[in-house]
Structure 1
Amino acid sequence: MQIIKIILAIFLPPVAAFLQVGLGPHFWLNILLTMLGGVPGMIHALWLILKNKTA
């Protein structure tokens, strides 16, 4: 499942953030970052996934 989330973080960052944290503040922040530019949203989604490797 981890690899799927990483691939989603690259192509659809809000979906990956939703799968990782649900509808919390990190999800909404990721949507905002993705709208400001794709790369910041991608970096944030990857950070969310990789910081919670044990979860």
Structure 2
Amino acid sequence: MAVTCSDIFKLIAAIILPPLGVFLERGCTSSFFINIILTILGYIPGILHALYVIVKY
């Protein structure tokens, strides 16, 4: 799987603001709301979930 420029932008966005990275990848789906909850509960779980979503899709 090739990494594009947009993927790099999404990864940077996921590190700075995890819900933004998920929103750019999946839109306003359940993954986005799960990531918001994880980010509120802890910044690191939000980042890990965002990276997982971006790499998986």
- Confirm or deny a common fold (TM above 0.5): yes
1:11 paired residue number: 16
Q: TM-score, normalised by structure 2?
A: 0.88
Q: Which residues of 2 match residues 1-55 of structure 1 at below 5 A?
A: 1-52=6-57
Gaps of 5+ in 1: none
CA-CA distance at 1:4 after TM superposition = 0.4
Q: Name the CA distance, whole Å, in 2 between partners of 1:2 and 1:19.
A: 10
% identical aligned pairs: 48
Asked which structure has the greater CA Rg, the reply is 2
Q: Name the CA distance, whole Å, in 2 between partners of 1:14 and 1:33.
A: 9
Runs ≥4 residues deviating over 3 A: none
CA-CA distance at 1:46 after TM superposition = 0.2
How well do the aligned residues superpose, as a CA RMSD in angstroms? 0.5
Gaps of 5+ in 2: 1-5
